[in-house]
Structure 1
């Protein structure tokens, strides 16, 4: 009888944070006009701090201080709008740093499916990691522009819809390219 492999389930807290992170622009669009930005900013800092591994708690304190400064200086809404910028910057750093390691982020993910990845596959995954770095840089720049200059509705539309669509297009496009590369190998 074949064994059934179930993917690991996420702890409820991680799942909740993931959903809240994805829904953040829509939540901001709905809640900022009625509650103001500071309760959302406080909730975001608390959730981010709770989610940080213990070794990164000092960075959580820095984040809490930055959020407090934003509130004190009247820029709490900018703190709320900064979330997509922070996410893109974090992912850019993780992906770019992995290019200096033996295995890039994408190679590590690929090796879960194909542990004996051939050298051509390693080169391909390195290139895909570079493409994602460019995506995070460009997407983060647009997210920053919308945070600084766009109204709340435009910011929410881009960061809660268009950016996800572009990410999905990149996933789909890369999958198509990968299928063609595999056929040629």
Structure 2
């Protein structure tokens, strides 16, 4: 089961996606489907078939977003989080070989199209929770235990959710 947490930026992005699909994309595709249907034989009408499928995908995504947006809990930054890893933090970690990774811990609905975001449900994120700078983190992976050290922890400001 996916965690029902989301950053304010993530919630706003999901809401914007819903609004774009519902108010712009769906009406546009509906017009194309209506036009293609008016041409007659739908069985061999590629415009009709393709756009009807696209309309179903849009409707499926809109239904999912409506349901998901209602059940998500927005987590805003709190000064009490400072110095420790919590939801919404940008974290830089390093292993003994000197490999460095930097990412933000966010809700599972926010990680798509972002290589620098990881889900709060990921083993790495779970292992990092409540850790402080210089703490050692042991992450259990299919290849065995991996050891990392926390280098930095930062939280985005309200006006800038991008990487600091």
For normalisation by structure 2, the TM-score amounts to: 0.32
For normalisation by structure 1, the TM-score amounts to: 0.29
- Higher helix proportion: 1
- Higher strand proportion: 2
Is the radius of gyration larger for structure 1 or structure 2?
2
